[in-house]
Amino acid sequence: MSDELQQWIQRVGKRAIVDGYNVDGFQFESVNGERAWHITAWPGRDPISSYWVARGKFYSMRIHYFYNMTNESRIEVFGEIESIRDDERAAVLKAISDWEKSIEVEAI
């Protein structure tokens, strides 16, 4: 992932509770067709984590809403986060997997 601002289009929002974690996710698609998720996750209470998940990897990120005073958003993705708890990582990846399967079924 790069540190540059990229245009992404929000496709779908999902919510789940997986293995004790509340997981909210918004799937985005880039102009190149790449898909990734903006995830917010928490274990029933604080701390609340927010990150970008692409190809099974977790990144820090920032969303710039109304970029350049337009109705567009840009997403800035930074370095990979490796300090996520194993149980949180597993819960988030399971939620994303389930969501992507349901999106495929809805598309048929």
pLDDT, tens digit (0-9, with 9 covering 90-100), for 13-38: 999 999 999 999 999 988 889 999 99
**For the whole model, what pTM was predicted?**
0.84
Distance CA 47, CA 26 (A): 19
Percent of the chain's residues with pLDDT above 90: 59
Task: Say whether 48 sits in a helix, a strand or coil.
Answer: coil
- Alpha carbon of residue 27 to chain centroid: 6
Q: CA angle, 52 as apex, 48 and 53 as ends, to 5°? A: 110
Beta carbons of 60 and 49 less than 8 angstroms apart: no
Q: Which residue has the tokens 């799937």?
A: 27
